[in-house]
Amino acid sequence: MSEEQLAARRAEILEAARRAFARHGYEGATVKVLEAETGLSRGAIFHHFKDKDALFLALAEDDAAQMAETVAAHGLVQVMRDLQDKDAGWLGVQLEVRRRLRTDPGFARKWAEHQSAIADATTARLQRQRKAGVVRDDVPLPILVDFLRLALDGLVSGLASGMPTHHLPGVLDLVEDAVRRRTSVSEDRSKEQTR
C-alpha cells in the first residue's frame, strides 16, 4: 500500500473506532466490536495501532491537537462554539477520556501532556489578549484558564447527555463576556465621543 492508502486506512479505522467507543465505551469496544465496526480483521486494525489503548489514545490525541490549534488561533470559547457541530462519536470519546482520567492512572499519565498543551495554548492566548487590553486583569490567568476548562467540560457533558442547544450561543456569549476586560464608564464615554 502507498503512504496515501495507509493514511486513508488509518483514518477509516479511527472513524470506525470513534463510533465503537462512543456506542460501547472503552471496555465495551472489544476487539470483536472494533472488527465489526471497521469491517477489518484484528490484524489489519492492529497493523496501524499497537493495541486498543493506542487506538483510543490516537483518537483522543487527534482531538486534543485540533482543540489546541483552535485555542491558539481563536480561543477556548471557539472550541466550545464548535461543539455544536460535533457528532455523538466525538462527544463519546471526550466523555471516555474524562472517565479514564478518573479511573485509569496509566492513561492519566499518558494524557497529562495533551492536557497541558491545551492549557498552555489557552494561557498563551489569554496573555496575548490581556496585553491587548481585551481580557480582564483583575483575575489571575490560572483562574480564567480553569474557568474556561470547567465550562468546556460541562458543555461536553451536557451535549453528550442530550442538552438542547437553542440557548447555547447566548450561554457562550456569557462565558466569553466573563473573561473580557470590564470597561469603566469614563472609557465608555470616551469611546462614544470618538465615534
- Amino acid present at 128: R
**Alpha helix stretches (DSSP H) within the chain:** 3-28, 31-38, 42-48, 52-74, 76-82, 88-103, 105-131, 141-160, 168-179, 185-194
Count of C-beta atoms within a 10 Å radius of residue 69 = 13
| Whether pLDDT at 193 is above 70 | no
pLDDT tens readout for residues 180-191:
998 755 555 555
- Domain spans of the chain? 1-49, 63-194
Q: Is the dihedral of CA 116, 117, 119, 125 positive or negative?
A: positive
Q: Options 1.10.357.10, 3.90.550.10, 3.60.15.10, 3.30.70.20; which CATH number does 63-194 get?
A: 1.10.357.10
> What's the pLDDT at 23?
87
CATH architecture assigned to 1-49: Orthogonal Bundle (1.10)
Which residue has 502507498 as its cell numbers?
Answer: 2
pLDDT at 26: 87
The pLDDT tens digits of the residues spanning 120-157 come to 999 999 999 999 999 999 999 999 999 999 999 999 98
Average pLDDT over residues 72-93: 89
Residue 118 has what pLDDT?
Answer: 87
The answer, as to whether pTM is greater than 0.85, is no
| CA gap 106, 57 in Å, rounded | 12
Domains 1-49 and 63-194 share a fold: no
pLDDT the model gives residue 32 = 94
The distance from CA 186 to its chain's CA centroid, rounded to whole angstroms, is: 39
